[in-house]
Amino acid sequence: MKKLFLFLFVALLSATAAMAMKPNMQFGVDYDYSSKGGNSGFGFQLEYQFLDNLRISPEFIYSCEKGDAGHFTNVNINLQYVIDSHVGFNVYPMAGFAYVNAKGDVNKCGANVGCGVEFNIGRNFALYTEETFQMVDHATRFITGVGLKYAF
């Protein structure tokens, strides 16, 4: 429980520091597929760009139950380095922290590494896909996400 409170405190502190810098923001909703148990679900993220190519992305994912795999609730905080192609899409490698609640009784902290691509479809919208390798004790898995972002 102490780890959870420490994780949430760091997440809140990070988000507050990022907002104080008046960043560019994006809100994304996505469909996620987990390699562990074949669970699928939904998620959302709020991205704060606080330097030219650097942004922080708090994220929440809920994976629905499939068979005996149970459900997963994820709270992630990823740091993304945005590489602008200048032709309508961006690539971003990412790394961060993960908190996973599995089947309602397993609470674990871990790490994320991955990469994403976003395709601009207008002034404020982008389609995106992400592949994340989540390293958590007894819940290590790949998470594939596809979604839509709105910039404001």
pLDDT by residue (tens digit) across 15-40?
Answer: 555 444 444 899 999 999 988 777 88
**pTM (two decimals):** 0.79
Spatial neighbors of 149 by CB under 8 A, at least 6 apart, are 26, 27, 28, 47, 118, 125, 126, 127, 128
pLDDT of residue 150: 95
Reduced to 3 states, what is the DSSP secondary structure of residue 136? Answer: coil
pLDDT of residue 3: 66
Q: What is the token pair recorded at 13?
A: 């502190």
Q: Count CA atoms within 13 Å of residue 136 on its CB side.
A: 26
- Quote the Cα angle for 30-36-37, to 5°: 95
